[in-house]
Amino acid sequence: MASDASVKNVDQLRQFGSNLRIAGDNLTTLFQRLSVQMHQVCEGWNDSKNQAFMADFEEKCRTITQLSEEMQQYSQYIARTCDILDQYRTAR
């Protein structure tokens, strides 16, 4: 890994990874709140549009959850990469 390292600014990369993690957390929190709110609103909205909307929204929530999980994984990968780069540069 270190032999192909060509990151100019490890701190910037680390900050980006942190921002990915924060964004993923924020997305998860936001869509959890929206899902709760949607279920509350839909208790008094009983037509075919409501059912279609709920199904579509729940599918989008699953997609957002998957995206958020991937952002967490990327963030962890970036953190590990930055740690390796720091070790490599310290050893030189």
pLDDT band at 1 (very low <50, low <70, confident <90, very high): very low
pLDDT tens readout for residues 60-83: 999 999 999 999 999 999 999 999
pLDDT tens readout for residues 23-33: 999 999 999 99
Domain containing 51 equals 9-87
Identify the CATH number of the domain in which residue 65 sits: 1.10.287.1060
- 4 is a domain residue: no
- 37 is a domain residue: yes
Rounded to an integer, what distance in angstroms lies between the CA atom of residue 32 and that of residue 69?
14
Segment 30-46 shows an average pLDDT of 90
Contact 17, 75 (CB under 8 A): yes
pLDDT at 43: 86
- 30 is a domain residue: yes
How many domains does the structure of the chain reveal?
1
- 48 is a domain residue: yes
Torsion sign (Cα): 78, 80, 84, 90: positive
Q: What is this structure's pTM? A: 0.78
- 3 is a domain residue: no
- 52 is a domain residue: yes
- 54 is a domain residue: yes
